[in-house]
Structure formats: structure tokens, C-alpha cells
Amino acid sequence: MFLSIDAGNSNIVFGFFDLRIKKWRYEFRIETQKNLPLVLLESKIHLFLLENKIKVGEINGVGISSVVPEINDLLLQFCQQFFGQEGYLIQGKSYLKLLVSTKRPDEIGTDLMANMTAAYDLFKQTCIVVDFGTALTFSVVGENGEVLGVNIVPGLKTAIKALFMNTAKLPEVELVLPPYTLGQNTVQSIQAGILYGYTGLVKGMLTYIRKDLKSPYKVIATGGLSSILEHLHDEFDLVDRNLTLTGIKLIREANV
């Protein structure tokens, strides 16, 4: 079984890939904390493995993508101490052996590079990857595997949190699409404004990006929130919430 660790600004995701059936089989999330105690991480993973009847010895490879440098050493120590093996931390030099290339290897997020690696491996053509995470990102890889560029805007939860923290009377609300485009109460008004507003944002951004592309392309959505805006799915050729985990696996395999 292969383990991909995707450490983002909001959550650390642990994805377990069953090599026998060639599918992502289990997923565990923990809130990202820059001062996360190693013993707490180990206890939570230990409990998760017990609940799913996974033996530590079944893990025969670990790849790590982290956009939170403060926890990199913790994750590497965790792999060594808990699984008894080195975790492969993706960094700029990791891209030298990939079909996907970038002129700024030390600037681009390893999660975005994992997304484009997985998308290009799947389609072998120009791809636009829309990642619904803490940030909403649009990453584009060209027909020859070159990174064409990335656009970044605040994510859905980030926008909701900004409203909640910077206004006196607006509550923090659940990300659920309301039945009407015009909210009938305060909660629905926020939900409609954010979710229908982001629908327009995604469609508009894709429209502008498509105008700059000179070759056939595929559009892939990923991220933990990719399933929320269901009425956007006609814009995508594929919705794969495990795309980043797959990219981590591919990058590790190319370098080890």
C-alpha cells in the first residue's frame, strides 16, 4: 500500500493507495497545526489504521507534498519513526525527472505541481486543473508538459471565514448551495453570494484561460470542495478529488 501525504494550509490529508486493486482506498484528514505534537499525530494515525485493519508493515512507500514548511521536519520524522522508512518530500529538484516541467521549480507549490503531473499523465495534452482548496487555483500545463501558469484566488471557506471574522453581525455558515439565487435569510444570503458568486468566478476564469490556449485541452476539478458546486460539473471533463494524491505518488515513483 502506498501513502500520499498532502499537507495544506487547512488540512493534512493521508491517502492510502491499494496497489493490488490500483485504487485510493482510505483517506484520513487532520487539521494543520504548525506546532502539532508528534505523539498526537502518531496516536491518531495508529487509531485510524486499527479501525481500518491496516498494518503498519503494509505501507511500502510514502510521498509528501507540503506547502507548510514549518511541519516538514515533523512529517519526515513521523514517517521514519512510525513506519520505519524515509518519506519522500517533494521539492524543486523532484521535477527534473518528470514529463511536466517548470521554469520556476522552487516557487510553484508542490501540490499544484502534483495536480498537473497527474492530469498530464492521464491525458497527455494541455490541461487546466481547478483545485478547490484553501485557495482556489487554476493551474495550466501545456501540450508538451510545460507549466504555462497558475492563477490563485481565495477559496470558498476562506471567503466565508473572511466575512465571519471581519463583520460584526454575519455568522459563519455551512457551505451548502441554497435553493434560490436570492437568499431568503442571512445564512442563505451568504451561501448564495459565495457559492453562486464563485460559480461565476470559475466560469469566467475558465473563459479567459481558454482564450489563451492554442491547443485542445481538458479541464479537471479536484480538491476537497470540488463536489460542492455540482452545477459547475458540466465545465469539467473530470472531477477527481484524489488528483493531488495521485500526483504525489507519481512524483515519488519518478524519483525513487
**Catalytic: which of 6, 73, 111, 212?**
111
Instruction: Based on the fold, state whether residues 118 and 196 are members of the same structural domain.
Output: yes
Q: Is the pTM of this model over 0.75?
A: yes
C-alpha cell at 121: 499523465
Q: 130 and 70, same structural domain? A: no
* Cross-strand bridge partners of residue 31: 11
Residues 50 and 6 in one domain: yes
Shared domain check, 138 and 15: no
**Average pLDDT score over the chain:** 92
Which are the contacts of 153, defined by CB distance < 8 A and separation ≥ 6? 135, 136, 137, 201, 205
Domain of 237: which CATH number? 3.30.420.40
Query: Structural domain of residue 65, as residue ranges?
Result: 2-89
pLDDT at 170 over 80: no
Report how far residue 202's alpha carbon sits from residue 239's, in angstroms, rounded to the nearest whole number: 14
pLDDT of residue 35 exceeding 60: yes
Q: C-alpha 143: how far from its chain's center?
A: 22
Residues 31 and 131 placed together within one structural domain of the fold = no
Residues 110, 79 share a domain: no
Say whether both 34 and 121 belong to one domain: no
pLDDT at 19 over 80: yes
Is 111 noted as a catalytic residue in this protein? Answer: yes
Verify that 6 and 80 share a domain, yes or no.
Answer: yes
Question: What does the pLDDT read at residue 180?
Answer: 81
pLDDT tens figures, 36-67? 999 999 999 999 999 999 999 999 999 999 99
131, 76: one domain: no
Span 189-198, pLDDT tens digits: 888 888 889 9
Total tally of structural domains belonging to the chain? 2
Task: Give the model's pLDDT for residue 125.
Answer: 97
205 in Cβ contact with 113 (< 8 Å): no
> Does the structure show a pLDDT above 70 at 16?
yes
| C-alpha span between 229 and 32 (Å, rounded) | 24
Query: Is 82 within the bounds of a domain?
Result: yes
| Section 114-124 average pLDDT | 98
Are 75 and 167 in the same domain? no
In a domain, 158, yes or no: yes
Beta bridge partners of 137: 131, 152
The pLDDT assigned to 194 comes to: 87
Query: 203 lies in a domain?
Result: yes
pLDDT score, position 32: 95
Q: 171 pLDDT band (50/70/90 cuts)? A: low
